[in-house]
Structure 1
Amino acid sequence: MLLLLTRSLDPTADMVIRELGTTGTPVVRMDPGDLPNAMEMNARFEQGQWRGTLTTAHRTVDLAEVSAVYNRRPNPPQAGAPGMRPEDAEWASNECYEGFYGVLYSLPVLWLNRPDRNRTASLKPLQLSTAHACGLLVPETLVTNSPSDAKEFTAEAPSVIKTLRGVPQRDADGAPGQPLIVYTWEVPPHEVDGTVAQGLCQFQRRVDPLYEVRLIAVGTQLFAARIDSPSGRPDETTDWRAYQDTDRISYTPIGIPDVIRHGVLDYLAAFQLLYGAFDFMVDADRRWNFLECNPNGQFAFVEYGTGQPIARAVADLLTRADAEHATSTARMGG
């Protein structure tokens, strides 16, 4: 049985569930955000392993039957009760997180991907050094909170500024909202000011792209989409995401050079990942410049835009894990 961890609205997860349905592979969808008020966990450590159940209003999962965990976009546990102080609710939520994932990480199952590995693999400076070690081309980059160093870097050659992490949005009442998208943009030296000192900023050499590539890795299967948009042209936004849902962008399948294929697979191995969404810029010399890898990035637009069977690849990987788990259980007589 596959355990899918995600929020209630997740179109990408829906695509994978539909593919799993064609194979008959059992899957249960749950959101850790339901802990502790709408989900109950009972886990007991005995004879060297964790046994127990996860229960919601509609489903019960026997932990011994879980063969793989597909970690998509789950909410964190959200404790709270009438009269509970906010600091106590935060503490209880953290306790739920530690217990929930502590037990699940202990299960001998396939993860796509473990949240702790996703978090480490999301550190962009670490991404760049790892990509370079794996033979991928990486633009020169500066991480600093020094306005003078930032001004000097941007004066040396055309440069862009990029976020190190997504920006959380807050609703009017201060509650967490949907993440904002902060686009990459070119920054000339005269625009660098004292605000750089308010936090670490990431500056990177601008790459003038012939086109860009979103590459999706699922296990050892790689799917690449060429992205053509106005990105990088004069007076245009330096980020192809700004043109999504417009008629100014197109996606077409593209072959993957061997050096990129080997580098991507080595990169996944370095972070112990089974999935990654890679972004490259291809310059005038046809060199693939590594920009970043989102270990839990979206692939739906690539599948819809190119027809490549990415959801099927995810479903197949999870189904194989389920079959192997069933065979192992049968051999042990359990």
Structure 2
Amino acid sequence: MLVSTCADDPTADLVIAELNHRDVPVLRFDPGVDFPLHSTLDARLDEHGWAGGLQHGGRTLNISHVRALYHRRPSLYTAPYLPGQDGKFAASENRRGLGGILHALPGCTYVNHPMQVATAEYKPVQLAAARRVGFRIPETLITNDPVSAVEFAKAVGPVVYKPLHAAAYDIDGESGCVWVRTVDPADLDESVANAAHVFQQQIPKVADARVIVVDSKIFAARIAAPDGVVDWRARYSELQYEPVQVPERIAARLRWFMVGLGLLYGALDFAIDADGRWWFLEINPNGQWAWLEPAADLPITAALADLLEKGATHD
């Protein structure tokens, strides 16, 4: 069992602890940081695929025997041990060499495969996939045209703006996030032209739902935020949670949606309106869940450990 993640990852810690409790051998490894200063790769291609060893922390992992890889949040590949362009070249080679091996482990269950994660993180991709399986989706525009943005906001409004990627964003020297927020058409000016923006119809929701899919298992929590809060993630300390049953029509579409994106794990967000309709907002193929497990009494750790230990239960 190989867990690929950064040093500070309490979510992965929970799964590793559960696997240790089950006496499942686990090697934790951060390829972007640990290789090559603290580890050695020796891989050869035979008739069955890649074989050989990965040495790290005084242990040797037989590449061909890795039955599952939990691809959590590994660091970017860097090479600070070399200056300038040599470092950039080495980091690129490490990513394509070691990273390529980790992407091509024979007979391995990936949770999730790094390439599928990279693809599913694109909001246009996930929204198109959601449309294909029949999810209800807010009217959406992606543009850098200020005129188009204003016309959309006036026609569809109220609308919200949301970032296309939840990248770190420093605010007054402090690490922060760009939250989803309501947009006034009067505030949309020429600065819209500086980047791609996604605008969506604002759903008059009465609650949110965070849905965690682990292979064939579905866990969901209904999230109640204070009145007027658009993005519940900005007010964690004021939220209330309770487990909720996902409507069967949504659950059936979820399975096809995950298969379409090639994912065994996903954290999905839905808005629930006053008529009980569920609106798909987004999926994070590597989204957090650790805080939700005790808050809504959802056995997600055990489900992930089952998947990593025993493999997927469906194709």
Output the TM-score relative to the length of structure 2.
0.93
1:200-254 Cα shifts (integer Å, max 9, x gaps): 00000001111000000000100000000026x2xxx41000111x1x2111100
Q: How far apart in 1 are the matches of 2:169 and 2:89? A: 22
Provide the residue aligned with 2:199 in structure 1: 203
Matched, 1:80 2:80: yes
1:303-325 Cα distance to aligned partner (Å, 9 max, x none): 02111100100001111139xxx
Whether 2:49 is the aligned partner of 1:49: answer yes
Question: Aligned-pair distance for 1:136?
Answer: 0.8
Counterpart residue type for residue 113 of structure 1? N
Match in the other structure for 1:288:
278
Indicate the percent of aligned positions where both proteins have the same amino acid: 39
8 A contact 2:168–2:177 mirrored in 1: no
Aligned to 1:331: none
Q: Kindly indicate whether the alpha-carbon contact (under 8 Å) linking 2:169 and 2:178 is maintained by their aligned counterparts in 1.
A: no
Superposed, 1:108-147 pairs within 5 Å as 108-147=107-146
| Distance in 1 of aligned mates of 2:171 and 2:182 | 29
- The structure 1 residue matched to 2:93, chosen from 81, 89, 95, is 95
Q: Secondary structure at the match of 1:37?
A: coil
Contact 2:160 2:181 in 1 (8 A): yes
Name 1:243's counterpart in structure 2: 235
Structure 2 residues without counterparts, runs of 5 or longer:
none
- C-alpha spacing 1:179/1:294, structure 2 compared with 1 (3 Å): farther
Q: Offset of 1:48 from its aligned partner?
A: 4.5
Q: Quick check: 1:217 aligned with 2:213?
A: yes
1:215 counterpart letter in structure 2: V
- Equivalent residue of 2:241, what SS? strand
Give the Cα–Cα distance (whole angstroms) in 1 for the partners of residues 295 and 183 of structure 2: 31
1:17 aligned partner:
16
1:325 alignment counterpart:
none
Is contact 2:103-2:114 (8 Å) kept? no
Q: Which residue of the other structure, out of 180, 185, 188, is the alignment partner of 1:184?
A: 180
Show CA shifts across 1:97-134 (max 9, x none).
11112212222211000111001011101111110111
Deviation at 1:166, TM superposition (A): 1.9
CA distance in 2, matches of 1:178, 1:189: 29
Letter in 2 for 1:297: G
User: Which whole-Å CA distance do the structure 1 matches of 2:62 and 2:234 have between them?
Assistant: 44
Decide which structure has greater strand share: 2
Which of 221, 237, 245 is the matching residue for 1:255?
Answer: 245
Query: Match for residue 160 of structure 1?
Result: 160
One-letter amino acid of the structure 1 residue matched with residue 94 of structure 2: C
**Hey, what does 1:326 align to over in structure 2?**
none
The aligned amino acid for 2:87 is: A
Q: 1:56 to 1:169 in 2, by over 3 A?
A: farther
- In structure 1, the partner of 2:302 is 312
Q: Structure 1-normalised TM-score?
A: 0.88
CA RMSD of aligned residues (A): 2.0
User: 1:237-287 deviations in whole A, cap 9, x for unaligned?
Assistant: 41000111x1x2111100110111011111100011000000000011111
Counterpart of 2:262 (choices 249, 265, 272) is 272
SS at match of 1:118: helix
User: Is the Cα contact below 8 Å between 2:208 and 2:271 reproduced in 1?
Assistant: yes
Q: Secondary structure at the match of 2:266?
A: strand
Q: 1:178 to 1:164 in 2, by over 3 A?
A: farther
State the distance in 2 between where 1:214 and 1:110 align: 25
Distance across 2 between alignment mates of 1:114 and 1:178:
32
Equivalent position of 1:327 in the other structure = none
Q: Which amino acid aligns with 1:270?
A: G
Counterpart residue number, 1:328: none
Task: Give the gaps of 5 or more residues in structure 1.
Answer: 323-334
> 1:36, 1:78 within 8 Å by CA — same for their partners in 2?
no
Cα distance, 1:171 vs structure 2: 11
Q: Does structure 2 retain, via aligned residues, the 8 Å contact 1:167–1:179?
A: no
Aligned letter for 2:179?
Y
